[in-house]
Structure 1
Amino acid sequence: MTDAPSSARRRIAYLLPVYNEESGVPAFHAALVAATDTLADRYDVQFIYVDDGSRDRSFDVLMRLHEQDERVVVIRLSRNFGHQKAVTAALDACHADAAIIMDTDLQDPPAVSLELIERWEAGADVVYAQRRTRDDSWFKRTTAHAFYRVLSRAASIDIPRDTGDFRLLDRTVVAELGKYREHNRFLRGMVSHVGFRQEAVAFDRDRRHSGTTGYPLSKMLSLAGDGIFGFSTAPLRLISRVGLLFSLLSVVGIVYAVVVRLATPENAVPGWAFLAITLFLIGGVQISMLGILGSYLGRVYIEVQDRPLYSVSRVVGDPW
């Protein structure tokens, strides 16, 4: 962990992506201020909200918070770029000694951030909040459990299970993350890839305070794809293994057909239905494998375009 000069008060910035959260942001900010009041004697604290192209009145709500609390900084993106890029915009703007990434739906209790800070003070460079329990639907709990198990087996690096983006990053880690500019972003995987000293703090995740989730099933699947395709070549290896399996099956089929034809030719009945099913099966597998190749090729195409990750339309306040 990077130490600041002893004569200077250190700074902690909360990085807070917002998308259609007008009903929940005021309650979240009140809870966050109450939790961070205990830091006033040791740290300067700033709250960097990033409005990710909200379609409701979230930006107006954030502007009122800025008027009431000078520590509030508001970054408004020109359109909706997605949660991961909104967090990236906050990371790019942040130059504090430590940054804490949180969602604003109160599922991540603000009081837990104080535990992250304690671990950082003890020497950790990254402190991630690991879900001990979560007050979500059965479907979301089940799919999340399955995703993290698949990712832990497929990924080329160790990505902690049952974690989101709720974590504290030392400024040295934030600086390193700034070098990672891929478009299909999976930040929790990128943080694991960076390295440094990383520790976990277990917590119980609460139910959403209000509004609807910004991660419906389609976005959850997209994020899962970014995690798997961005940190694993297992799907590519799967193509070779499936191809080898079908090659072996074809050899077995050829041997069987020859043996039947030579040993008991009267039993060699033409199997047109079986042949048609086999062709359809192999064709389906080939198309699926091409889809996997296309996913990797599409990611390469997007990266080669080298477009900006996001565009900022307005900044209110002075981020550290």
Structure 2
Amino acid sequence: MKKKLISVVTPCFNEEANIEELYLRVKDVFAKLNKYDYEHIFIDNDSKDNTVSILKEIAKADKRVKIVLNSRNFGVVRSSFYGLLQGRGDATILIFADLQEPPSLLIDFLEKWEEGNFVVQGVKKRSEEGFVLFNIKKFYYFIINKISEVELIRDASCFSLYDKRVIEEFRKIDDIYPYLKGLVSELGFKTAIVEYHQAARKKGVSATKLYIAYDFAMLGITSHSKVPLRLATILGFFMSIMSLILAFSFFIGKIFFWNLFPVGIASIIVGMFFFSSIQLFFIGIIGEYIGLMNMRMLKRPLVIEKDRINFK
């Protein structure tokens, strides 16, 4: 009987301290799972350390390890999605190189998949990444679920498994900058969750800076909700009415109480800055939507490959 093939995809950038340990831990997991063959695809986002040389040494000794080298850093969103599309397995698992998600959970993911689920989603119930950051993310998922047009999985991570049917649907999607967690909800495939405790990064420095975290957050909102745009319209309408009432009140007050009703410069300045800040905020929101539309309309490739190793 032919064994099922599992594709494990690992995006990486400057992970020389973790990459070999991740490879060995994934290898150990599949050594216990005799009914599966597997391939481990590493997609490197133009690392500046020794990540690539370590990967090449591993790939030389183990032909199940395949490497895609990007010509430059295309960002984690584009690189991860492109990596998923390279898998040819019956199921494809996305796991990052920082070892914050335990590779031992691959067994649980595969069990859920064998039960008939097309997507298995890792969900962080606890995390060592920091109390404040973890709870900010929880609050974000609470907000986005309230405003999103589809129900997203609360506290979901990118650690996930996709059946080959889901990957085939991914290949049909012409989107240079997809929000993967929302995309899964949009497609509506049967999904199971696996809860886990996220470990702290033990080695190396995370490439996910504040700006990148903000980019992820705005991508989720602008990809799956029109609420901010509607809120701008509704709030603008009511603020206009309030401004008209206020202006009319000042006008009447000035007519009937000419000497007793001075119009202060302070109130004018405060009002002007208040309305200006509201306008700038919503101009920024509209700009986020326009920027995402522009990126998708340009039809640029997800990534450009510099080289690939061990692919037939």
TM-score range (shorter-chain normalised) is over 0.9
Q: Tell me, what secondary structure is at the counterpart of 2:102?
A: coil
Return the match for 2:161 from 165, 168, 172.
Answer: 168
**Counterpart-to-counterpart distance in 2, 1:246 and 1:130:** 41
Any conservation in 2 of the 1:98–1:168 contact (CA below 8 Å)? yes
Give distance in 1, aligned partners of 2:84 and 2:224. Answer: 21
Match of 2:222 in 1: 229
- In 2, Cα distance between equivalents of 1:238 and 1:180: 29
The one of 239, 245, 252 equivalent to 2:245 is 252
Amino acid at match of 1:104: A
Q: How far is 1:205 from its partner? A: 1.0
Deviation at 1:277, TM superposition (A): 2.0
User: For 1:270 and 1:121, how far apart are their aligned partners in 2?
Assistant: 73
Q: Distance in 2 between matches of 1:221 and 1:133?
A: 21
Query: What is the Cα deviation at residue 17 of structure 1?
Result: 0.5
Give the CA deviation at 1:109: 0.2
Contact 2:79 2:302 in 1 (8 A): no
Instruction: State the partner residue of 2:26.
Output: 32
Of all paired residues, the percent bearing the same amino acid is 25
Gaps of 5+ in 1: 1-6
Q: CA deviation at 1:118?
A: 0.1
Could you tell me whether the CA contact under 8 Å between 1:101 and 1:167 is conserved in 2?
Answer: yes
- 2:90 counterpart residue number: 97
Equivalent position of 1:157 in the other structure: 150
**Separation in structure 2 between the aligned mates of residue 172 and residue 26 of structure 1, nearest angstrom:** 30
Paired residue for 2:117?
A: 124
Deviation at 1:47, TM superposition (A): 0.5
Question: Among 33, 39, 46, which residue is 2:39 paired with?
Answer: 46
| Matched-pair contact (CA < 8 Å) for 2:142–2:154 | yes
Give distance in 2, aligned partners of 1:275 and 1:209.
54
Q: CA deviation at 1:209?
A: 2.7
Q: Does residue 1:280 correspond to 2:273, yes or no? A: yes
Contact 2:78 2:177 in 1 (8 A): no
Counterparts of residues 1-320 of structure 1 (less than 5 Å) = 7-39=1-33, 41-261=34-254, 264-318=257-311
| CA displacement 1:31-59 (0-9 Å, x = unmatched) | 111122111x2111110111111111101
What secondary structure does 2:154 align onto? Answer: coil
Q: Which runs of 5+ in 2 are unaligned?
A: none
Is the 8 Å Cα contact of residues 99 and 169 (structure 1) preserved in structure 2?
yes
**CA pair 88-103 structure 1, distance change in 2 beyond 3 A:** same
Cα-Cα RMSD: 1.6
Post-superposition offset of 1:263: 5.4
In structure 2, how many angstroms separate the alpha carbons of the residues matched to 1:280 and 1:130?
A: 42
* Between 134-143 and 56-65, the greater mean CA deviation after superposition: 134-143
Alignment length, in residue pairs? 312
Contact 1:177 1:194 in 2 (8 A): no
Q: For residues 270 and 94 of structure 1, what CA distance do their matches in structure 2 show? A: 69
Q: Structure 1 residues 132-141 or 227-236, which shifts more?
A: 132-141
Q: Deviations over 1:185-242 (max 9, x none)?
A: 2111111211110111111111113101121111100111111111111111121122
User: Given the two structures, how large is their TM-score scaled by the length of structure 1?
Assistant: 0.93
Q: Is the 8 A contact 1:65 1:72 kept in 2?
A: yes
3-state SS, counterpart of residue 32 of structure 2: helix
The one-letter code sitting in structure 1 at the alignment partner of 2:109 is L
Looking at structure 2, the residues matched to 37 and 267 of structure 1 have their Cα atoms a distance apart, in angstroms, of 88
How far did residue 266 of structure 1 move? 4.3
Q: Which amino acid aligns with 1:82?
A: G
- Greater shift, 168-177 or 130-139, is seen at 130-139
Instruction: Report deviation, 1:284.
Output: 2.4
TM-score (normalizing by structure 2): 0.95
